[in-house]
Structure 1
Amino acid sequence: MKFKYVVLGMLYFVQGIPYGLQSGLLPIYFRTLGLSFTKISLAKVLYTPWILKVMWAPLVDQYFTKKTWLMLTMWGLVLACLACSLMTPEANFLPVAAILLLMNVFVSIQDIAADGVAIRLLGQDEVGYGNTVQVVAYKLGSVLAGGGLLTFLHRLGWGSLFVYLAAMYTLAIVVTWNSDLRLRRSYLSQDRCVRDRTFNPWHILQELLQVPDTLWTAGFVLIYKLGEQGSISMFPLFLLERDFSAQKLGFWNGIVAMIFSIVGSSLGGHLISKQSPPLPTLKALLALRACCLVFQILLMVAYKDKEPASEVAAVLSICVQHFIAGLITTLTFSMMMYCTQKAKESVQATHYSFLATLEVLGKLVFSTLSGSLVDWLGFTRAFGVFFSLSFASIVYLLPVRS
């Protein structure tokens, strides 16, 4: 493996830690402390910086080097972890929430800088493998923080947990510093070029939309996950309602399914590196995903509680669904990077952040509404809506040939 893949993998790995911490570990930990569901639900507000990151992306593009932004944000994460280690959420809930929000600000800025580095480092024939590293490393960091640390939390304790995370970020700082020195000619010299410094939002938006294929790519990333997000989040809850034990769900949906997702992401990078353009493969995968949703709808109708055949079919559908989702995600992120590489270097990080923000927005908005849709229509009808939304992305791609 090339050294730059190792560097990118490390950067995206540490980015995945706060997400796994806040989506996997903290809700369960807060509930064991007796915190109300109202306080736990406020955790969704902590993801706001990921939606707003396009607003400060021009700063990362136009001031300082990408190395400077990476170092500053990781030092900020070290200090935030140390501050959290001195507090307890049961006694200092709002201060802890504020620090976690600040961690998301740091990570979103770090993501912009890391994306800018990846766009400049990766050649056309390396985008597939580079995005595989990005997606897989991020998921591994998320799994480590969400599942791995949760397993040992009762032994480590809240304070020690964040001290270890601070040590991990300190190690990442050392690796980043030395790696930047070795890769200086690849991208750091380009960061020092003279740029037009403008922060007129309308001018920046016009410049982004003038990049070829931006409007089409923006439309696709906004809708391609809509139906998938609803089914991935709601199908495990359907099984929970049908006497599928929480322990089984934790193992199959939390560990095994994530392994399938990582394998799918890895295979997606291999496919896109061997086949160009990626659209034919993406069309086939979207159609296969729609078939998987049809299978889940039929399974809901025929599901019988505590019957081994039903449970095996449910687990199989979850694993296949995550495998296909990993493939589609890597292919989509690769297309986003191909599109961004057509932009001027002075706006590449901003352009990619714009597309990534739309991708997060599409997933986040619908995932918050899917539960209400199930309450209103029931599982089977709600999944019919998920299927319709998933089919919309196929229709969007059909007329496109390149």
Structure 2
Amino acid sequence: MPPETLMPAESRSPGPAAAARTAPLLLLTSLYLAQGLPYGFFTQALPVLMRENGASLKAISATALLFIPWALKFLWAPLVDHVGTRRSWILPIQFVAAIGAALLALIDPARGFLAVFAAVFAFNVLAAVQDVATDGMAVRLLDAQARGLGNGIQVGAYRIGMVLGGGLLLWVYAKLGWVAMCLGMSALLALTCVPVLLYREASDGAARKARPPLPVLAAGWLPRLRLPGMLALLALVCAYKFGDAMTSSLVGPMLKDAHWSTEEIAIVKGTLGSIMSLVGAAAGGWLAFRLGRRRALFGCGIAQALSLLLYVVAAGAPDDRALVWSACITEHLFGGMATVALFTLMMDASDPEHAGTDYTLLACAVLVAQGLAAFTAAAIGDAYGYVATFTAALVFSALGCLLLIAALDRRLGPARLDEVWKR
């Protein structure tokens, strides 16, 4: 671990210890917020703007292809881990993103969205590279005790960035227009550069001297994938979030089929869901910090599964607003808690010398699980309806939690987890 790693409070005087813990957490807050800003804009505000300018629903849905860099980020993760420092990757990316957002003001969306689509793809490439560097930095900055809080910040700050990007910026657009909105996003991204400018990363000269040649780094994720226990953990991570991801993918269509307005769906899934996810992220981070990994993962995982029971009931009465709102509040709260507990475990499993690569492989597994879960939910939903789908999601969620706990109790994951599993 480098000198800036968070050390136990007992080893320092209270003042320096508090400062040493606060500074890295503020840094990580700014970095994950910077990721959420453009993502929130492009996934929540942009579809509204496209529809306003006459784009078809098919054209809007096709923008999902522009987020492919997030699924492929494991390909360049070894380069980020071993070429330069993580700060040397993050800082230029932050500045380029801020400048790119300002340049968007020169585009007139009324004349077509081709240039905007190119910008979306470019932003996703930048954010996917920044994410690898940021996750690697987080693994090295946070000790085992602080990772629960760090992952609570990861999820929470990203959500806040999404709310700012998809809510605040859309409001600015409605009041002041496209140019003001783009300049506003640029200003917010520029502000997130400040903590990075103030951060001084410890030198890791030995690692850079031992850096493999670039052709080896291009496939450097393969040796990490072959580590004992890594494939098992990838499967367990997928299983843990599979049921919850099934539910999330079908809530919107269920409400639309029940003739909820778009505004109502936006409020319940966007605003209310984001707020409760933030609360859940904070609670999950605290639980991972106070209870340890096993108890936090088990408790949050079972709570996540049981929360889906409300959606089973709501699927039979989707016109009951109070019931649907209760289901949304409960699922986002406990889903956020389980997500943070899981991300903390993923960070524990990551080797600090290959932190970006290890964590990225596990994060990409979560993305794959979400895609498979959405496909599974759609197939069950088409054949048997929403009640059967949410019931299956509940069962998958509970089994996934129990499977992860049982497997790690038998030490089937990476050896690094032995240090933290039953604390």
TM-score, normalised to structure 1, is: 0.89
User: Partner residue of 2:249?
Assistant: 233
Could you tell me which of 307, 310, 335 is aligned with 1:325?
335
Number of aligned pairs? 389
By how many angstroms is 1:361 displaced?
A: 2.0
Asked whether the equivalents of residues 25 and 149 of structure 1 are also in contact (C-alpha less than 8 Å), the reply is yes
Asked whether the equivalents of residues 20 and 142 of structure 1 are also in contact (C-alpha less than 8 Å), the reply is yes
By how many angstroms is 1:266 displaced?
A: 0.5
Determine the C-alpha separation between the residues in 1 that align with 2:318 and 2:140: 53
Determine the C-alpha separation between the residues in 2 that align with 1:148 and 1:191: 42
Determine the C-alpha separation between the residues in 2 that align with 1:5 and 1:156: 34
> Are residues 1:287 and 2:302 paired?
yes
Any runs of at least 4 consecutive aligned residues in structure 1 with deviations exceeding 4 A, and if so which? 187-193
Determine the C-alpha separation between the residues in 2 that align with 1:144 and 1:162: 13
Determine the C-alpha separation between the residues in 1 that align with 2:52 and 2:274: 25
> Are residues 1:114 and 2:134 paired?
yes
> Are residues 1:381 and 2:385 paired?
no
Could you tell me which of 117, 120, 144 is aligned with 1:97?
117
Question: Structure 1, residues 16-50: CA drift from partner, whole Å, max 9, x if none?
Answer: 11211121111111111111112111110111000
Determine the C-alpha separation between the residues in 1 that align with 2:326 and 2:32: 29
Question: Structure 1, residues 80-132: CA drift from partner, whole Å, max 9, x if none?
Answer: 22332211234232221011101100001011111111111111111111111
Determine the C-alpha separation between the residues in 2 that align with 1:304 and 1:139: 27
User: Partner residue of 1:68?
Assistant: 88
**Relative to structure 2, which stretch is displaced further, 237-246 or 80-89?**
237-246
Structure 2: runs of 5 or more not aligned: 1-20, 410-420
Could you tell me which of 141, 165, 182 is aligned with 2:161?
141
Q: Secondary structure at the match of 1:114?
A: helix
| 1:124-163 equivalent positions in 2, closer than 5 A | 124-163=144-183
| 1:43-58 equivalent positions in 2, closer than 5 A | 43-58=63-78
User: Partner residue of 2:60?
Assistant: 40
Q: Secondary structure at the match of 2:111?
A: coil
Could you tell me which of 315, 322, 326 is aligned with 1:300?
315
Could you tell me which of 211, 216, 219 is aligned with 1:200?
216
Asked whether the equivalents of residues 74 and 173 of structure 1 are also in contact (C-alpha less than 8 Å), the reply is yes
By how many angstroms is 1:238 displaced?
A: 2.2
**Relative to structure 2, which stretch is displaced further, 29-38 or 203-212?**
203-212
Determine the C-alpha separation between the residues in 2 that align with 1:105 and 1:368: 25
Q: Secondary structure at the match of 1:64?
A: coil
User: Partner residue of 1:313?
Assistant: 323
Determine the C-alpha separation between the residues in 2 that align with 1:167 and 1:291: 42
By how many angstroms is 1:364 displaced?
A: 3.4
Q: Secondary structure at the match of 1:123?
A: coil
CA gap of 1:399–1:9, structure 2 versus 1, over 3 A, is same
User: Partner residue of 1:172?
Assistant: 192
**Relative to structure 2, which stretch is displaced further, 380-389 or 1-10?**
380-389
Determine the C-alpha separation between the residues in 1 that align with 2:159 and 2:45: 14
Question: Structure 1, residues 319-347: CA drift from partner, whole Å, max 9, x if none?
Answer: 0000001000000000000000xx261x2
User: Partner residue of 2:403?
Assistant: 396
Asked whether the equivalents of residues 40 and 166 of structure 2 are also in contact (C-alpha less than 8 Å), the reply is yes
By how many angstroms is 1:300 displaced?
A: 2.4
Question: Structure 1, residues 195-215: CA drift from partner, whole Å, max 9, x if none?
Answer: 233543796345313545422
Could you tell me which of 259, 269, 274 is aligned with 2:290?
274
By how many angstroms is 1:189 displaced?
A: 6.3
